[in-house]
């Protein structure tokens, strides 16, 4: 058993069974009250709890190499990166997971694009979510990131290692 598979085995415990039972009961209550919004959130929580994969949201400030780090982790160019002038094409979140062959789905408005590829890291049960960099003044990107965080098992914060954390990075981490 690899260290990675040990982590995934730890996610599926006896507590998972009792949590899924509770979530199912709560969902039947919210369905009965006509609260589809809460039912959907409970269903998403149940899916996260029962999913043995480790979801890692990769984020940081804009122009710090977030997508480059993701591309390096999977040894493939799956996320757009900054061009020669330092301005990369804007993109929404991209979910990268294991697949027998490389494929990409186009993102519908408000949803992340999905990429599958046969990368060894992903075969171990890792799912990476590449996010657009957040600039302090861009509340739209920050809001989109905050919506992704509850779906994560871990967050990888990308920064420029040649300097100390900047004040905006510290605020972002807080």
Domain containing residue 95: CATH number: 3.40.50.300
Condensed to tens digits (0 to 9), the pLDDT of residues 29-71 reads 999 999 999 998 898 888 888 888 899 999 988 888 899 999 9
Q: Are 169 and 100 found together in one domain? A: yes
- Kindly state whether residues 124 and 161 are assigned to the same domain: yes
* Residue 36 and residue 60 in one domain: no
Query: Of 15, 33, 50, at which residue does a domain stop?
Result: 50
In a shared domain, residues 64 and 141:
yes
pLDDT per residue over 124-168, tens digit each?
A: 899 999 988 887 655 677 777 777 887 888 999 999 889 899 888
User: What is the pTM for the complete model shown?
Assistant: 0.74
Residue 5 has pLDDT above 60, yes or no: no
Distance CA 67, CA 6 (A): 27
Both 146 and 164 in a single domain?
yes
DSSP secondary structure of 77-114: --S----TTS-PPP---EEEEE-SS-EEEPPPTTS-EE
What is the sign, positive or negative, of the torsion defined by CA atoms of 154, 155, 158, 159? negative
- 89 and 74 both lie in a single domain: yes
Q: What is the CA radius of gyration of the chain?
A: 18
Q: Domain range spanning residue 110?
A: 54-173
Q: Is the pLDDT of residue 25 over 60?
A: yes
Total domain count, the chain: 2
* Whether 105 and 164 share a structural domain: yes
- 26 phi and psi, to 5 degrees? -65, -40
Q: Are residues 39 and 58 in the same domain?
A: no
Q: Are residues 39 and 59 in the same domain?
A: no
Specify whether 103 is located in the same domain as 157.
Answer: yes
Domain boundary among 15, 35, 50: 50
Check whether residue 83 and residue 145 sit in a common domain: yes
Question: Domain check: are 80 and 46 in the same one?
Answer: no
In 3D space, the residue among 128, 112, 111 whose CA is nearest the CA of residue 120 turns out to be 128
């Amino acid at each position: 058993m690899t260290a990675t598979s040990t982590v995934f085995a730890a996610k599926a415990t006896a507590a998972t069974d009792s949590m899924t039972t509770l979530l199912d009961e709560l969902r039947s209550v919210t369905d009965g009250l006509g609260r589809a919004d809460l039912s959907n959130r409970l269903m998403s929580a149940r899916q996260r709890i029962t999913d043995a994969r480790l979801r890692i949201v990769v984020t940081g400030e804009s122009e710090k190499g977030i997508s480059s780090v993701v591309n390096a982790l999977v040894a493939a160019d799956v996320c757009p990166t900054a061009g020669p002038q330092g301005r990369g094409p804007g993109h929404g979140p991209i979910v990268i997971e294991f697949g027998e062959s490389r494929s990409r789905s186009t993102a519908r408005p408000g949803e992340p694009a999905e990429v599958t590829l046969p990368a060894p890291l992903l075969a171990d049960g890792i799912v990476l979510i590449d996010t657009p960099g957040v600039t302090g003044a861009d509340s739209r990107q920050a809001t989109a990131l905050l919506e992704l965080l509850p779906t994560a098992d871990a967050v990888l914060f990308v920064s420029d290692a040649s300097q100390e954390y900047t004040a905006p990075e510290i605020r972002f981490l807080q």
